[in-house]
Structure 1
Amino acid sequence: MLNVSGVSRSFGGVYAVRDVSLSVADGEVCGVIGPNGAGKSTLFNLITGHLAADHGRISFLGQRVDRLAPHRRARMGMSIVFQAARVFRGMTVEENVMVGAHGHTRAGFAAAALRLPRHQADEREIAAEAADALARVGLAEWADRPADLLPIGQQRALQLARALCARPRLLLLDEPASGLRAEERERLATLVEELRAAGLTILLIEHDVGFVTRLADRVVVLDLGRVIADGPPAEIRSDPAVLAAYLGQAS
């Protein structure tokens, strides 16, 4: 589903990501880990289109996308949950989630402005999808509350619900467990496991080794902008290069 081939990006002559290649198969949960400064966030932004690569290519669903804007990639089925909480202030939780469905509405601007029947049908369908997404992440009872009043853990859950409302082919999670309490992390892990069981393809970029190795079918390890290991979680945990670069720092 996703193929990253020989991608590099430098800042001021220093490479944040250098000749990185990885792939994510349909239905797979692929985790990307690495110590601070390994290049994880840069790689994430290259895949989502928020940064342009200096070299290499990125393909999604068999189509080259490294020259496409983020919204074009989103329309193809990439949905993003960023590390920083991003909510639309002045809108309810439900309205925030409904925004995620804008890419697959059928009625145009004129129909919306004139409140034509096809727009109203779209609104009902989107509201139902939003309600379902909120129920999946445990926020159904918060639907009518202002989104900016949610605690950080629930704002992260809101972002996930909004991403699911976009009907993703590929879900991209950037440090989703960062800043969460133990019970919130467990709830998030359980939800990711449910999404994996439902067949959703997920790329998970995360600092927490235990969180990733619990959830991922395969783990890619970055260090100083390069891939130093790629394999199943059990193999990654015992890889000498990974122990030296990452796990040794965490012990």
Structure 2
Amino acid sequence: MLAITGVSRSFGGVYAVRDVSLTVADGEVCGIIGPNGAGKSTLFNLITGHLAADRGEISFLGHRVDRLPPHRRARLGMSIVFQAARVFRGMTVRENVMVGLHGRTGAGFVSAALRLPRHRRDERLIAAEASSALERVGLADWASRPADRLPIGQQRALQLARALCARPRLLLLDEPASGLRGEERERLAVLVEELRAGGLTILLIEHDVAFVTRLADRLVVLDLGQVIADGPPAEVRADPLVLAAYLGHAS
């Protein structure tokens, strides 16, 4: 599904990601973990196209994408849920989710401007699908509320609903549990488990080791921008290099 080969990115001569290579198989949940400053967010932005790599290649579904802008990668089937809540202000929760569906509609600008029958039909269909996505993430009762007034946990769920509406082949989650309370974290974990059972490929970048270990089929560990471990969660958590990265060499 995803292949990263020898990817590097530096800032002011300091490498945030250095010669990283990894793959994500179709239907797999791959977790990327590491201590603060390990390069997780930089790698995420390289995959999604929000940063350009200094060198290396990124392929998605057999197509090289490291030279494509984010919206082109999205059209190929990448959907993203960012760590920071990103909502469209002045719009309801349902309208925010509908944004994730407009890329799949057939009506163009003229049809929308003139409110032609095809546009009205498309709007009814995407409103129904958006409502279904909100039900799936537990936000059905919030659908008509202003999106920017939601608590942080619900805003994160809104972003996930919007991403799922694009019917992705690969879902990228950037520290989705950050800032969530216990009940919200459990609800998110259950939803990710349901998505995995449905065959969706997920790349999960997370700081919470216990959370990602529960969900991932495989863990990749970054430290100082380099991969130091890659394998099953139980094996990776017992790796001396991983323990040193998190606890220090003296420990």
TM-score band (shorter)?
over 0.9
Q: 2-side partners of 1:17 and 1:164: how far apart?
A: 28
1:225 aligned residue: 225
1:115 aligned residue: 115
TM-superposed deviation, 1:246: 2.0
Q: 2-side partners of 1:171 and 1:248: how far apart?
A: 33
Q: 1-side partners of 2:122 and 2:60: how far apart?
A: 28
CA deviation digits over 1:16-55, x for unaligned, max 9? 0000011111111000000000000000000000000000
Whichever residue aligns with residue 75 of structure 1, its letter is R
* Change in 2 beyond 3 A, CA 1:247/1:194: farther
CA deviation digits over 1:163-220, x for unaligned, max 9? 0111111100001000111111111001100100111110000000001110000000
Report the secondary structure of 1:27's partner residue: coil
1:130 aligned residue: 130
2:47 aligned residue: 47
| In the alignment, structure 1 residue 38 sits paired with structure 2 residue 30 | no
TM-superposed deviation, 1:247: 5.4
* Change in 2 beyond 3 A, CA 1:215/1:247: farther
TM-superposed deviation, 1:80: 0.5
**Matched ranges for 1:1-251 at <5 A:** 1-246=1-246
Q: 1-side partners of 2:247 and 2:128: how far apart?
A: 44
Report the secondary structure of 1:26's partner residue: coil
TM-superposed deviation, 1:106: 1.1
Q: 1-side partners of 2:3 and 2:121: how far apart?
A: 37
Scaled by the length of structure 1, the TM-score of the pair is 0.97
CA deviation digits over 1:137-180, x for unaligned, max 9? 00001000100110000000000001011111110000100011
Report the secondary structure of 1:153's partner residue: helix
Q: 1-side partners of 2:235 and 2:103: how far apart?
A: 39
Report the secondary structure of 2:101's partner residue: helix
Q: 2-side partners of 1:119 and 1:48: how far apart?
A: 30
Scaled by the length of structure 2, the TM-score of the pair is 0.97
Q: 1-side partners of 2:99 and 2:237: how far apart?
A: 39
Q: 1-side partners of 2:36 and 2:102: how far apart?
A: 35
Deviates more, 1:105-114 or 1:184-193: 105-114
Deviates more, 1:127-136 or 1:11-20: 127-136
* Percent identical residues: 86
Contiguous gaps of at least 5 residues in structure 2: none
Q: 1-side partners of 2:220 and 2:113: how far apart?
A: 47
Whichever residue aligns with residue 73 of structure 2, its letter is R
Q: 2-side partners of 1:237 and 1:161: how far apart?
A: 31
Q: 1-side partners of 2:187 and 2:103: how far apart?
A: 28
Whichever residue aligns with residue 199 of structure 2, its letter is G
Report the secondary structure of 1:36's partner residue: coil
Whichever residue aligns with residue 143 of structure 1, its letter is A
CA deviation digits over 1:111-137, x for unaligned, max 9? 111111211121111111101110110
